[in-house]
Amino acid sequence: MPAVAALLDRRPALLALRRALPRATTPVRTARTPAHLAALLHEEPVDAVILGAEAARSPVLDALRADYASLPIVVYATLRSDEAPLLQRLVRHRVAAVLVEGLDEPVMARQLALVGLTARRMARLLPLGERAGLVDPLQLLAWRAVVERAPEGLDGAGVARHLKVGRATLVRRFAAGSAPSLKRAMDLVRLVAAAQLLGSRALRVGDVAGLLGFSSPSLLHRTSRRLFGAPLGEVVGASDATLLAALRGPRTTVGWR
């Protein structure tokens, strides 16, 4: 799971968040101010933003929802019995989850994993694997790793290490049968991640290219045209059928004489 960005009111809440999210799996990027939070969102992809009650009551939440419409927002705060107006506000702003400080620390990691951008991407893309010809256990394990971590910079060699196989073996076995190549699969996942980020008006194509490790915005556009035959902007609203066609790639037939 990639990093989460947090703007919390109280140090005990931050310490609880760090205890609940092991640094090796989910780094926590701590913002000191709303401006610092905005800067963090341009430095690396984050899976979600976690706000304290003060930020949730303030224009910070309004600005986040306006500028980062596709980014899941989680509120982590001490809630009292008279907090109905705050909860109604969170519903109006489509907050992904509300976690109670002092109560939900044991389940925080699981809840964040359920609502983040990674979870949304996995829910949509994992079922396409078998439909694209990925049926062997190794293919499916590799596909899961690619969907989950390719936007963080995981490459083919990293997938091979994760699965404890040689890179050449993985590349060959992943593309066996009617399955797509490993490179095509990784490119598609990164484009879907780019489309997720482009749902936020504060992020331009150049920002997204940098966040996902593309050397330039033009390379991001060329990759979109190679896989989808369309500009990147059209990938944002792509249907499952369009994603599947892009994953499978051009079909070839064998001519018999």
3-state secondary structure 174-222: HCCCCCCCHHHHHHHHHHHHHHHHCCCCCCCHHHHHHHCCCCCHHHHHH
The answer to whether residue 181 is domain-embedded is yes
Report whether pLDDT(194) > 80.
Answer: yes
pLDDT given for residue 148 in this prediction: 94
pLDDT given for residue 251 in this prediction: 53
Percent of all residues in the chain with a pLDDT value above 90, rounded to a whole number: 78
Report whether pLDDT(254) > 80.
Answer: no
Residues 82 and 30 placed together within one structural domain of the fold? yes
pLDDT given for residue 252 in this prediction: 43
Residues 48 and 26 placed together within one structural domain of the fold? yes
Q: Which range has the worst mean pLDDT, 13-27, 33-47, 86-100, 155-169?
A: 13-27
Tell me what the mean pLDDT of segment 166-192 comes to.
95
DSSP code for 82: T
How would residue 146 be classed by pLDDT, with cut points 50, 70 and 90?
Answer: very high
Report whether pLDDT(227) > 70.
Answer: yes
Distance CA 76, CA 84 (A): 15
The more confident residue out of 83 and 88 is 88
pLDDT given for residue 22 in this prediction: 79
Please identify, among 72, 88, 115, the residue that sits at the C-terminal boundary of a domain: 115
**204-211 — which CB contacts under 8 Å span 24+ positions?**
205/232, 207/42, 211/42, 211/44, 211/45
How would residue 156 be classed by pLDDT, with cut points 50, 70 and 90?
Answer: very high
Domain ranges, residue 82: 3-115
Please identify, among 71, 88, 115, the residue that sits at the C-terminal boundary of a domain: 115
Residues 130 and 235 placed together within one structural domain of the fold? yes
The CATH number of whichever domain residue 175 belongs to comes to 1.10.10.60
Distance CA 247, CA 128 (A): 8
pLDDT given for residue 24 in this prediction: 67
Residue-wise pLDDT for 66-82, tens only, equals 999 999 999 999 887 77
Residues 189 and 233 placed together within one structural domain of the fold? yes
Residues 9 and 111 placed together within one structural domain of the fold? yes
Residues 127 and 244 placed together within one structural domain of the fold? yes
pLDDT given for residue 1 in this prediction: 66
Distance of CA 159 to the CA centre of its chain: 17
Tell me what the mean pLDDT of segment 173-184 comes to.
94
Report whether pLDDT(253) > 50.
Answer: no
Report whether pLDDT(257) > 70.
Answer: no
Residue-wise pLDDT for 14-43, tens only, equals 999 999 987 767 899 999 999 999 999 999
Place of tokens 């060329």: 222
Please identify, among 55, 88, 115, the residue that sits at the C-terminal boundary of a domain: 115
pLDDT given for residue 8 in this prediction: 95
Number of domains the chain is built from? 2
Residues 204 and 164 placed together within one structural domain of the fold? yes
The answer to whether residue 256 is domain-embedded is no
Q: What is the mean pLDDT of the chain?
A: 91
pLDDT given for residue 236 in this prediction: 83
